[in-house]
Amino acid sequence: DAGVTQSPTHLIKTRGQQVTLRCSPISGHKSVSWYQQVLGQGPQFIFQYYEKEERGRGNFPDRFSARQFPNYSSELNVNALLLGDSALYLCASSLGGGTQETQYFGPGTRLLVL
Amino acid sequence: ILNVEQSPQSLHVQEGDSTNFTCSFPSSNFYALHWYRWETAKSPEALFVMTLNGDEKKKGRISATLNTKEGYSYLYIKGSQPEDSATYLCASSGSARQLTFGSGTQLTVLP
């Protein structure tokens, strides 16, 4: 079975631009979460979606938005990019998004903002 | 403890040595403790999810214990091999369902 997939793998943008990152969960998983990881730190929670509804949001500005589609894939959008948005963006999927469920991670999208 | 903290930050061991790392987490609003193994350029790999005080889990040469009352978990690797070199992350999950990660322990096993 395919794991969590993310696209693109790498991306270079300039300040002020907008970016869309994509995630396909493991087949059968209905929950997708997004995390941002900057060098030297652990991943930080951005969003969780379950059955197309937002279930949780981390401490990120409104420039960050996401959505989940009927096939449970998800997109993360970041508007008005800042240099500080440069990071690895990880997507994780789980069956139902419960607190005791394992979240399975994709390889991430590395975003560089110049 | 307000955040998830891991120690040491990095560790170098010789092949064949056994080693362990610590994860400290807030004991209030605790639901589960997750351990991940993350090799460079790969996806973080789930190792364990533990929920009950006193839980012990084992996967090959890797094992973990959980103390929810004092808010810590230990990860043990027996007979370290070069392929064990990775960053080991722990994360706590509470009622909010999100994972709150520590900064990780970077393990290098020298042949």
Residues A57-79: pLDDT tens digits?
A: 999 999 999 999 999 999 999 99
Residue of B nearest to A58 (CA): B98
Subunit contact B98:A45, Cβ cutoff 8 A: yes
Subunit contact A105:B96, Cβ cutoff 8 A: no
Subunit contact A33:B91, Cβ cutoff 8 A: no
Nearest to B5 by CA among B92, B96, B95, B94: B92
pLDDT digits (tens, 9 = 90+) for A2-15: 899 999 999 999 99
pLDDT digits (tens, 9 = 90+) for A83-108: 999 999 999 999 988 888 999 999 99
pLDDT of residue B1: 52
Mean pLDDT estimate for chain A: 95
Residue of B nearest to A98 (CA): B97
Cβ atoms < 10 Å from Cβ of A34:
25
Nearest to B36 by CA among A112, A24, A43, A74: A43
Angle at A73 between CA A68 and CA A75, to 5 degrees: 60
Subunit contact B46:A103, Cβ cutoff 8 A: yes
| DSSP calls for chain A | ----EEE-SEEEE-TT--EEEEEEPPTT--EEEEEEE-TTS--EEEEEEETTEEEEE-S--TTEEEEE-TTS-EEEEE-S--GGG-EEEEEEEESS--TTSPPEE---EEEEE-
